[in-house]
Amino acid sequence: MSSLVTTIGELTFNSPLMNASGAFNPEAFARCFPLAESMGALVMKTLTPESSKGNAQQRTVALPALGMLNSIGLQGKGIAQGLESELPAWSNHGVPVVFSLSASSVEAFEQAVVQIFQHRNASVIQALELNLSCPNVHAGGSSFGSSPDWVNTVVSAVKAVCPVPLWVKLTPNVTSVLPIAEQALLAGADGLVAINTVLGSHIDVRRKKASLSRVSGGYSGVGMKPIALHHVLQLAQAFPQTPIIGVGGIQSATDVIEFLMAGCSAVQIGTQAFRNPWVFPSVTKGLQAFMKAEGLENLQPIIGCAVPKI
């Protein structure tokens, strides 16, 4: 059988498939299929230093055939509780765990990373994914992820205290991701995750107002795949040595192959897994069938093969 092993910098994973942060419950999915057979890593829901109830209802809208909108916010128990009670549940499946972190100031990011890796349960964490879509309290509420300077500052601060590879998740809600990615890499990021949700809205025509309490939220699902691929291709062309993890609208093995050919070493699946938890085993089968048909022993020959040469 062909090997689905992939590398992201110094880390090796048995499969290029991961869940997207916030759209996965390891216990529930493990009742559907053995996670270790179809997933290379498990990415935790983003945790913040303090517990948070998230945003007010209504905070999700299903968009039939398109995906969904969410403005859940970073709801969670906070890092201390997450390390104590959630991390052991994520690390229970024989699959490497990626910790996803957000905070609202540079100091809070830095202190959180120190706190995480001092914890006795932290030895299972293989990589840290930074979710920089959180409002920056020192920049009038705009997100860290939309300013190259802030990305440099926060990634530098985290890198100095982070003992595991550091992945930076990029927001597409900017004019160009390239200067942001460049600063993340200059500050020491070991990988880029592209992309977080795309800003979107929905109107409830009976109530004659926006459906989401926050008016706008993050759009995810099938319709964002071309947008995610666009960003991945731009990143792969500009930073050919950088590991990229693709995310956005992935539903099938063919979608995954597109992301690999666009330069990704791995991919994450979110919204589709809500609809079909078996997407991971079914994509795994599809990848193996493609590799057999193409006579591929491993994924290496296709990673980045569709990136235009500069």
Ligand X SMILES: Cc1cc2nc3c(=O)[nH]c(=O)nc-3n(C[C@H](O)[C@H](O)[C@H](O)COP(=O)(O)O)c2cc1C
Shortest distance in whole angstroms from residue 168 CB to ligand X: 11
> Measured at CB, which residue is nearest to ligand X?
22
Alpha helices in the chain (DSSP H): 26-30, 35-38, 79-81, 87-90, 106-118, 148-159, 178-186, 225-238, 253-261, 271-275, 279-294
72 binds ligand X (CB under 6 A): yes
Q: Would you list the DSSP string of 268-299?
A: EE-HHHHH-TTHHHHHHHHHHHHHHHHT-SSS
Of 38, 271, 291, 304, which one interacts with ligand X (CB under 6 A)? 271
21 binds ligand X (CB under 6 A): yes
Vertex 58 angle, CA 57 and 59, to 5°: 90
Shortest distance in whole angstroms from residue 61 CB to ligand X: 11
Annotated catalytic, 305? no
Shortest distance in whole angstroms from residue 222 CB to ligand X: 7
Both structure tokens of 155: 């990634």
Helix, strand or coil for residue 148? helix
Q: Which of residues 98-117 bind ligand X (CB under 6 A)?
A: 100
158 binds ligand X (CB under 6 A): no
The 207-226 contact track toward ligand X, x by CB under 6 A, reads: -------------xx--x--
Q: Which of 134, 162, 264, 305 is catalytic?
A: 134
Residue 119 CA: distances (Å) to CA of 37, 83, 113, 176 = 29, 7, 10, 37
Are 253 and 287 a contacting pair, CB within 8 Å? Answer: yes
131 binds ligand X (CB under 6 A): yes
Q: Which residues bind ligand X (CB under 6 A)?
A: 20-23, 45-46, 68, 70, 72, 100, 131, 169, 196-197, 220-221, 224, 247-250, 269-272
Active-site residues: which are they? 134
